[in-house]
C-alpha cells in the first residue's frame, strides 16, 4: 500500500482581509496545474475558497470543513489525514481567528504561509500569528513546521518599493516574493477561474508561480510524516493557541 502523504500548507493570519483565500486557491491551482494533485481544505466559515473552486473548471479540488469546536478536532484531523493519502499537497484556508482550526492545522502543517500587507494593523496581526506558529512548533513532537510571510497587495513603482522595506524590518520571518496588487485576481474569481487560467503569463500569474517556487523550496526534503494518531481536544488546546 502506498503510504505517501501530502505535504500540508496552512494559509492564515489573525487578521482578515490579507488575501489568504486568494493565496490558497491560486497556489493550489498552480500546484495542480504543474501535475501535483492538490486539494484546498476550506476551514473558514465564510467558505470563500469553496465558492471560488467548487463546480468550476479549475485544476485543484476543494473540501469545505470549517472547524469551530475543539471536541470535533479528532474527527477533523482523521479526515484530513485520509485526504492526504490521495493528494500531493493539501492547502488549508484558515479563518482569521484563534481557535480549533488554527490549533489543529498548526499541529499538522509542514508549512505556514502568512499573507500580510505592509499596513501597521496587518503587521501587528502577523507578528501575533508568528508567535502562535513558534509556540506550536515547540509543542510538536514530530515533523518540522516552517513559516513564510507572503507580502500581498504590494504597489510596485520606480520610486516606491510598495512597503517591502518596512515588511523586512518589522517581520522576523523569511519573506516570499511579493504578490503585487492586481484586479486580475478578483476578475478571475468572478469568471470562475484561477489566475493561471484567466490571465496566463500575466504579472499576477508570475507572482503566484514565484510563490509556488518559494513554497516548494521551504518544503524541500521534509522529514517522513507519521501515521495518523488519535489527538484529543485537550492535546490541541495544550498547544496554547486558544487564548
More confident residue, 145 or 235: 145
Q: What percent of the chain has pLDDT over 70?
A: 86
Residue located via cell numbers 476543494: 62
* Residue 2: inside a domain: no
- CA 68/CA 131 separation, integer angstroms: 21
With 90 as the cut, is the pLDDT of residue 98 above it? no
- CA 186/CA 205 separation, integer angstroms: 13
pLDDT, tens digit, for every residue of 10-19?
Answer: 999 999 999 9
Its domain, for residue 211, covers 7-237
* Residue 66: inside a domain: yes
* Residue 53: inside a domain: yes
Query: pTM of this prediction?
Result: 0.87
pLDDT, tens digit, for every residue of 16-66?
Answer: 999 999 999 999 999 999 999 999 999 999 999 999 999 888 999 999 999
At residue 103, what are phi and psi to the nearest 5 degrees? -60, -45
* Residue 119: inside a domain: yes
pLDDT, tens digit, for every residue of 129-161?
Answer: 999 998 888 887 667 889 999 999 998 765 567
First to last CA, the chain: 41
Q: How many domains does the chain have?
A: 1
* Residue 1: inside a domain: no
Q: What is the per-residue pLDDT for 169?
A: 84
* Residue 229: inside a domain: yes
Amino acid at each position: 500500500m502506498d503510504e505517501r502523504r501530502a505535504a500540508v500548507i496552512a494559509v492564515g493570519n489573525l487578521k482578515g482581509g490579507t488575501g489568504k483565500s486568494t493565496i490558497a486557491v491560486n497556489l493550489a491551482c498552480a500546484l495542480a496545474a504543474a501535475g501535483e494533485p492538490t486539494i484546498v481544505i476550506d476551514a473558514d466559515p465564510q467558505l470563500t475558497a469553496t465558492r471560488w473552486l467548487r463546480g468550476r473548471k479549475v485544476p485543484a479540488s476543494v473540501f469545505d470543513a470549517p472547524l469551530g469546536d475543539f471536541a470535533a478536532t479528532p474527527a477533523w484531523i482523521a479526515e484530513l489525514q485520509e485526504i492526504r493519502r490521495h493528494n500531493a499537497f493539501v492547502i488549508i484556508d484558515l479563518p482569521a481567528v484563534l481557535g480549533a482550526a488554527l490549533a489543529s492545522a498548526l499541529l499538522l502543517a509542514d508549512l505556514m504561509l502568512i499573507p500580510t500587507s505592509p499596513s501597521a494593523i496587518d503587521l501587528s496581526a502577523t507578528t501575533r500569528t508568528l508567535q502562535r506558529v513558534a509556540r506550536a512548533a515547540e509543542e510538536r513532537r514530530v515533523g518540522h513546521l516552517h513559516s513564510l510571510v507572503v507580502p500581498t497587495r504590494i504597489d510596485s513603482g520606480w520610486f516606491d518599493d510598495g512597503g517591502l522595506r518596512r515588511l523586512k524590518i518589522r517581520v522576523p520571518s523569511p519573506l516570499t516574493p511579493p504578490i503585487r496588487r492586481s484586479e486580475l485576481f478578483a476578475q478571475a474569481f468572478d469568471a470562475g477561474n484561477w489566475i493561471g487560467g484567466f490571465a496566463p503569463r500575466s504579472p499576477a500569474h508570475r507572482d503566484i508561480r514565484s510563490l509556488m517556487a518559494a513554497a516548494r523550496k521551504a518544503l524541500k526534503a521534509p522529514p517522513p510524516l507519521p501515521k495518523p494518531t488519535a489527538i484529543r481536544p485537550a492535546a490541541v488546546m495544550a498547544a496554547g493557541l486558544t487564548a
